[in-house]
A = this chain, B = another copy of it.
Amino acid sequence: MPKARAEAVQKTRIQARSEEAILDAALTVFSTYGYRGATVDQIAAEAGMSKPNLLYYFRRKEDIYVTLLERTLEDWLEPLKALDPDGEPAEELTRYITTKLEMSRDNPAASRLFANEILHGAPMIGDFLKGPLRRLVDDKAAVIRQWSELGRITAIDPYHLIFAIWATTQHYADFEVQVRAVTGKKMSSPPRAIRCSPS
């Protein structure tokens, strides 16, 4: 057993490479089949190693999953964090929406990974949702409400606005097969951001 994991000492080149390969493979497999549907064998095969070898780096299937989620959670919140209270509302919201849409387009697997986790009741990241995520959303909702009260944007419930943005942007990643089936092809042009006209 490598010291690295237990004592957080420096990692071997091989360790770094293997863990990366495993997490890459895990993202592909978990996002496609869900936590329960994915098998360790599948992930190992996708990562190009034997199952015992994979389990040498991550003792349990759950460890891979949790590590994967944690690794991506922070990135996922970055765009919302960047919403600037002192910026121009329309500009800020447009940038947020655009960034989210690009992330869904460029990394649909990550989007589906989260979608699946939440759809199943967020058994692993429930605390994260109720803690850090909630605080962040409360914070940014206050910003949007402020904008509303100052008449800089249409009066709108900030939480529902955020939900609407999440829903629409992630839809193209999470329900890609449906979008593809209905349109007959992969969406080339992302939808224009929903425009909020002054009330």
Contact = CB atoms under 8 A, between A and B. Distances in A.
A85 interface: no
Given A112-B119, A118-B178, A184 B134 contact: yes
B121 A32 contact: yes
Given A129-B182, A195-B197, 8 more contacts: A32-B121, A33-B120, A34-B116, A36-B36, A116-B119, A133-B178, A137-B182, A164-B194
Tell me what chain A mostly uses at the interface: helix, strand, loop, or mixed: helix
29 contacts: A32-B121, A34-B34, A34-B36, A34-B120, A36-B37, A37-B37, A37-B120, A115-B115, A115-B175, A118-B174, A129-B177, A133-B178, A133-B181, A133-B182, A134-B182, A134-B184, A157-B191, A160-B192, A163-B168, A163-B179, A163-B191, A164-B191, A166-B175, A167-B168, A167-B170, A167-B171, A168-B168, A195-B197, A197-B197
Nearest to A178: B118
A122 interface: yes
Nearest to A169: B167
A183 interface: yes
How many copies of this chain? 2
- 4 closest cross-chain pairs (CB), A and B: A129-B181, A167-B171, A36-B37, A160-B191
Contacts of A122: 177-178, 181
Interface of A: 32-37, 112, 115-116, 118-122, 126, 129-130, 133-134, 137-138, 157, 159-160, 163-164, 166-168, 170-172, 174-175, 177-179, 181-184, 191-192, 194-195, 197
Nearest to A171: B167
A79 to B, nearest CB: 16
A120 B191 CA distance: 23
Contacts of A182: 129, 133-134, 137-138, 159
